[in-house]
Amino acid sequence: MGFVRGRVVMVTGASSGVGLETSKELARRGAQVVMAARNRERGEKALEEVRRAARSAGSPEPYLLLADLTDPTATAFLMERVRSRYRRLHVLINNAGGYFARRATTPDGFEHTYALNVVAPIRLTLGLLGRLKKSRPSRVINVVSQAHAAGVPDLDDLQMKRRKYRGFLQYARSKTALILWTRAIAGELGGTGITVNAVHPGWIKTAMGSSNPPTAAAAVFRFATALFARPQIVGSRGPAYLADDEQLQETTGEYFFVTHQRAPAAHARDQELANRMLELARSYDLFAQKK
C-alpha cells in the first residue's frame, strides 16, 4: 500500500497539465485530493475528471479551492479555508507554475514568474506548516524543472529589475531558487517528520507558455514540444512517486528527475545561496506576524 491512501493531499495548479494528471493519479491511489485552481470554470471541469477517477477507485471525494497564487490576499484566504476544512494535511504538492515571456508584477510588487514559481510555494508551505506538523509523517513536493540548469540565480536581482527581462532565463532562475529553498528548508525541518523534495516532471505536452505572444521563438518551442514532449499523463509520474512511495519516508532535500534521484546543477547545490534563500523566504510568510 502506498503513502497517500486515506491521506489528505493538496495539489496546486490542479486545473490542467501535470497538476490535473497528478490529482487523478493520487485519487486513483486512494488519496483525499484537495485541488487548488485559479479559474473557476477550468477548476470545476478538472474537478469532474478527478471526481470520476476517485469514484472509480472508491476513494474520498476530491474538493476544489480557488485562488490566484500570485495574489497574497487570495493565497492567505485559501490557506485559511484549508485549515478550517482539514485538520490534517499529509502531502502538499506545489505544482502551479509557469513561463512568462513578458515581465509583469503582482499586487504586492513581485515579478510575476518569481511570484508564482517561488514565492507562492514558499508561502503555502510556511503557512500550512502547522497542519503538516500535526499530520506527520508528511511531505512537501515542489515541482521544479531541469531547465534550472540554465539559470544561475542572482540573489541580488531575483525580480530581474536591473537587467533586461528574459522570460526563459527568469523561469530557469526561479526553478533554481526553489531547489535552493527546498534543500535549505528540508535541512531546517530535519527530524520533524516533514520531508521536502523537488521534482522535474519531464518534458510534457501541456498548456505551459501558451498564453505568451506568438513570437518565432515561441513557435519553435511549440514545434519541438509537439515532436519531443511526452503525453500529459506521463507528467504525473514524478510527483505521484514522491507523494506515494513508502520507501521515501526519510528522503528529504533531494532533487528528482521524474522518479530518479539526481544531483541538481552545481549552482542549485550551493550552500551559501541556499542559506540566503532560506533567510529571504522568511519575509514571504504571510502569517509570520501571527506566529
Ligand X SMILES: NC(=O)c1ccc[n+]([C@@H]2O[C@H](COP(=O)([O-])OP(=O)(O)OC[C@H]3O[C@@H](n4cnc5c(N)ncnc54)[C@H](OP(=O)(O)O)[C@@H]3O)[C@@H](O)[C@H]2O)c1
Please list the active-site residues: 171
Q: How far apart are CA 122 and CA 117, in angstroms?
A: 9
Specify the 3-state DSSP secondary structure of 213: coil
Q: Binding of ligand X at residue 15 (CB under 6 A)?
A: yes
Burial of 227 (0-12, 13-18, 19+ CB in 10 A): exposed
Q: How far apart are CA 207 and CA 211, in angstroms?
A: 8
| Shortest CB 172 distance to ligand X, Å | 10
Query: What's the grid cell of residue 120?
Result: 507562492
Site for ligand X in 50-79 (CB under 6 A): 68-70
Among positions 206, 248, 274, 286, the unique one binding ligand X when judged by CB under 6 A:
206
Q: How far apart are CA 291 and CA 128, in angstroms?
A: 12
Q: Closest CB to ligand X among 73 and 271?
A: 73
Q: Binding of ligand X at residue 23 (CB under 6 A)?
A: no
Q: Binding of ligand X at residue 249 (CB under 6 A)?
A: no
Contact stretch for ligand X (CB under 6 A) within 25-33, 186-194, 198-206, 248-256: 198-206
Amino acid at 62: P
CB 133: neighbour CB atoms within 10 A? 14
Amino acid at 22: T
Report CA Rg, the chain.
18
Among positions 203, 221, 257, 287, the unique one binding ligand X when judged by CB under 6 A:
203
Q: Is the peptide bond before 137 cis (omega within 30 degrees of 0)?
A: yes
Among positions 4, 8, 18, 54, the unique one binding ligand X when judged by CB under 6 A:
18
Q: Which of 250, 209, 240 is nearest to 93 (CA)?
A: 240
Q: Binding of ligand X at residue 19 (CB under 6 A)?
A: yes
Contact stretch for ligand X (CB under 6 A) within 35-43, 48-56, 159-167, 278-286: 35-43
Contact stretch for ligand X (CB under 6 A) within 90-98, 123-131, 215-223, 259-267: 90-98
Q: Binding of ligand X at residue 96 (CB under 6 A)?
A: yes
Among positions 119, 179, 180, 204, the unique one binding ligand X when judged by CB under 6 A:
204
In the complex, the residues that contact ligand X under the rule CB under 6 A are: 13, 15-19, 37-39, 42, 68-70, 95-98, 116, 143, 145, 200-201, 203-204, 206-208, 229
